[in-house]
Amino acid sequence: MCAAILEEQIPIEIAIRVITSNPADLLKLTQKVYIEQGCTADFVLVNQKDLQIDTVISKGKIMVEQQNIVVKGTLL
């Protein structure tokens, strides 16, 4: 996906659907992926230059911040 965005110039909002809303819709996980009232979407912030994960927020908790793991284990 990174190559599609960085090299092929596919807009990130289109490319990201391959790993977010498309599979979530197929698996009927609509409460987890959309950013709207009543949903529990997680956030993954990436570095604009190379698309490396910078920050992860899940269930309102910062799990990764500035590429450093803050919470270890799983969050169910």
Residue ranges of the chain with pLDDT lower than 50?
none
Query: What is the pTM for the complete model shown?
Result: 0.68
| Collapsed DSSP state (helix, strand, coil) of residue 67 | coil
Strands (E), the chain: 43-46, 53-58, 61-65, 68-69
Dist CA 67 CA 29 (whole Å): 27
Confidence at residue 76, expressed as pLDDT on a 0 to 100 scale: 55
| pLDDT at 1 (0 to 100) | 66
Per-residue pLDDT tens digits for 26-40: 888 767 777 778 777
- Of the candidates 53, 76, 71, 51, the one whose C-alpha atom is nearest the C-alpha of residue 1 is 51
- In contact, 53 and 43? CB cutoff 8 Å: no
pLDDT, residue 69, reads: 92
